[in-house]
């Protein structure tokens, strides 16, 4: 048992926007964090993951007080960590006045219930914790709907057990749950119909977004999406480049909604930059599903600016985790430019290693504004070959441009009216400049 962090001050209460799974933030609670690994040699990775769970716990508004790393051959179906270990930890819970036990691994509803009984405090897993943070940070309509949907889907299979715990556990975390959630527990059918209402509302929002992105395509501006691990500095970079005033904070998942801003490259070309939710190892499946419409912004991009926190001791693990989620959402084959951020705080050895492994990557500090010229240039050259389809109305006095359009692009349609030639042309956005004043619609 390591005792890493006992003296965190009890912070202010956070405001709730959505009913959450854990209610960790209502009162700053004392948390025992448990990570379990099964393979020999996996302890270092499990320990880093447990450290990250500590950051997640803090972001959710609770204080990680004790950490426990457990090695097992296989999960125990009833108690996950086995009865003996569960007894041992129950004593720790009492000795350290623990309010909540957070598991780094996914627990089945039955394991969660059994452990809760054994510990006599609330037990949550990594997924519930992340859902909780999302629920606290959701502010837009779409963000709140998506989080609520993920919460309901997470809670649905857990309803029965939770009901039992609620009546048994007076004064525990469960008893602090909002009235909305208690209602949920008594009526599965209501939840199911709420889920389908949420789904259809999200589909409507998605349709609106698709119309917007279609009109963006008509404006032939390529979109570059900022993606990366949570806290890598995506919003800081967007703010630096575009004056977007997006919240950028030293906490996990400060951004949930996508923001899109126009950015002019040094060569005068305008592109759109989008910022959205950050990723984390084992991002809950329910969240990825629920956030699919937000993440569509990423899927539709011409280029991914994959921001990496180079001040992390193992940035490679973050890169892998981000790529896994990208594949999961169908963005695995979009061209990617690796951007190593926080160079000001990075270990030179790590930076050198990253430079060797990824020679095309760009090193920047979004905070100090370093490396931005290189970044802009790299974005520009990645987007050179981006093809845009534009409609041109060229007066007869500029027949030279009509000829140029035929030479440089693919003319999809052409007609001639009283004003001049009307062309639909597909060409590399880098070659658009001479035609710009004749672009219509
Ligand atoms: N030292 C240093 N800190 C940075 C740099 N860029 C960003 N940060 C800090 O890193 C923290 C996270 O930055 P954000 O821009 O909110 O990160 P994000 O990727 O948008 O994070 P989420 O939206 O939470 O996923 C903030 O405290 C920033 O000030 C940098 O280049 N150097
Ligand atoms: Mg952000």
- Closest atom of ligand 1 to 237 CA is 15
Q: CA 335, CA 65: separation in Å to the nearest integer?
A: 42
**Mean pLDDT of the 165-185 span:** 40
Residue 259 Cβ < 6 Å to ligand 1: no
User: What global pTM score does this model have?
Assistant: 0.76
pLDDT of residue 282: 82
Question: Of residues 222 and 369, which shows the higher confidence score?
Answer: 369
- Closest atom of ligand 1 to 250 CA is 27
In the structure encoding, which two tokens stand for residue 311, read together?
A: 């001040």
Over residues 5-58, the pLDDT tens digits come to 433 333 333 333 334 555 555 568 899 999 999 988 888 989 999 999 999 999
pLDDT of residue 306: 97
DSSP, residue by residue, 360-404: T-EE-BTTTTBSHHHHHHHHHHHHTT-EEEEEEEEEGGGHHHHHH
Q: Tell me: pLDDT of 170 over 60.
A: no
Domain with CATH 3.40.50.11060 in the chain: 30-189
CATH code matching the domain that covers 30-189, chosen among 3.50.50.60, 3.30.450.30, 3.40.50.11060, 3.20.20.70: 3.40.50.11060
Q: Are the C-beta atoms of residues 143 and 294 closer than 8 Å to each other?
A: yes
pLDDT of residue 1: 43
Residue of 226, 231, 318 to mutate, ligand 1, most atoms within 8 A of C-beta: 231
Question: What is the average pLDDT value for the chain, to the nearest integer?
Answer: 83
Listed residue (401, 389, 400) closest to 440, CA to CA? 389
- Closest atom of ligand 1 to 248 CA is 16
Question: Which of the ligands is closest to the CA of residue 278?
Answer: 1
CATH code matching the domain that covers 221-383, chosen among 3.30.1180.20, 3.40.50.300, 3.90.550.10, 2.40.50.140: 3.40.50.300
Over residues 361-407, the pLDDT tens digits come to 999 999 999 999 999 999 988 887 666 778 899 999 999 999 999 98
pLDDT of residue 177: 44
Domain with CATH 3.40.50.300 in the chain: 221-383
Residue 254 Cβ < 6 Å to ligand 1: yes
**Mean pLDDT of the 254-263 span:** 86
pLDDT of residue 387: 67
Q: CA 340, CA 359: separation in Å to the nearest integer?
A: 11
CATH code matching the domain that covers 387-440, chosen among 3.30.1360, 1.10.357, 3.30.70, 1.10.760: 3.30.70
């Amino acid at each position: 048992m390591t005792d890493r962090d006992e003296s965190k001050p009890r912070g202010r209460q956070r405001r709730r926007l959505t009913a959450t799974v854990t209610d960790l933030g209502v009162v700053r609670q004392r948390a025992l964090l448990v990570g379990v690994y099964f393979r020999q040699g996996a302890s270092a990775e499990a320990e880093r993951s447990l450290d990250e769970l500590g950051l997640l716990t803090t972001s959710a508004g609770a204080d990680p007080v004790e950490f426990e790393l457990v090695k097992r051959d296989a999960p125990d179906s009833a108690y996950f960590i086995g009865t003996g270990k569960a007894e041992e930890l129950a004593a720790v819970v009492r000795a350290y006045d623990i309010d909540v036990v957070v598991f780094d691994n996914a627990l089945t509803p039955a394991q969660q219930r059994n452990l809760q009984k054994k510990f006599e405090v609330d037990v949550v897993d990594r997924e519930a914790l992340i859902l909780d943070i999302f629920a606290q940070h959701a502010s837009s309509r779409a963000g709140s709907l998506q989080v609520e949907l993920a919460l309901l889907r997470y809670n649905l299979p857990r309803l029965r057990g939770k009901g039992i715990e609620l009546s048994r556990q007076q004064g525990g975390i469960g008893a602090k749950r909002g009235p909305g959630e208690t209602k949920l527990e008594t009526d599965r059918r209501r939840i199911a119909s709420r889920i389908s209402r949420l789904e259809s509302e999200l589909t409507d929002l998605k349709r609106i977004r698709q119309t917007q992105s279609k009109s963006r395509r008509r404006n032939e501006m390529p979109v570059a999406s900022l993606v990366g691990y949570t806290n890598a500095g995506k919003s800081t970079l967007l703010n630096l480049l575009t004056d977007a005033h997006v919240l950028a904070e030293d906490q996990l998942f400060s951004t949930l909604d996508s923001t899109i801003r126009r950015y002019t490259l040094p060569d005068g070309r305008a592109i759109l930059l989008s910022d959205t939710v950050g990723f984390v190892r084992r991002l809950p499946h329910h969240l990825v599903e629920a956030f699919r419409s937000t993440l569509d912004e990423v899927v539709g991009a011409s280029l991914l600016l994959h921001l990496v926190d180079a001040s992390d001791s193992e940035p490679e693990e973050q890169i892998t985790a981000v790529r896994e989620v990208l594949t999961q959402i169908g963005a695995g084959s979009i061209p990617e430019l690796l951007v190593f951020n926080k160079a000001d705080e990075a270990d030179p050895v790590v930076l050198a290693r990253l430079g060797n492994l990824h020679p095309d990557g760009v090193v920047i500090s979004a905070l100090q504004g370093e490396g931005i010229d290189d970044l802009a240039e790299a974005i520009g050259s990645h987007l050179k070959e981006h093809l845009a389809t534009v409609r041109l109305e060229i007066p007869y006095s500029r027949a030279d441009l009509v000829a140029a359009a035929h030479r440089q692009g693919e003319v999809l349609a052409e007609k001639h009216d009283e004003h001049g030639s009307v062309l639909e042309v597909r060409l590399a956005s880098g070659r658009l400049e001479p035609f710009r004043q004749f672009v219509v619609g």
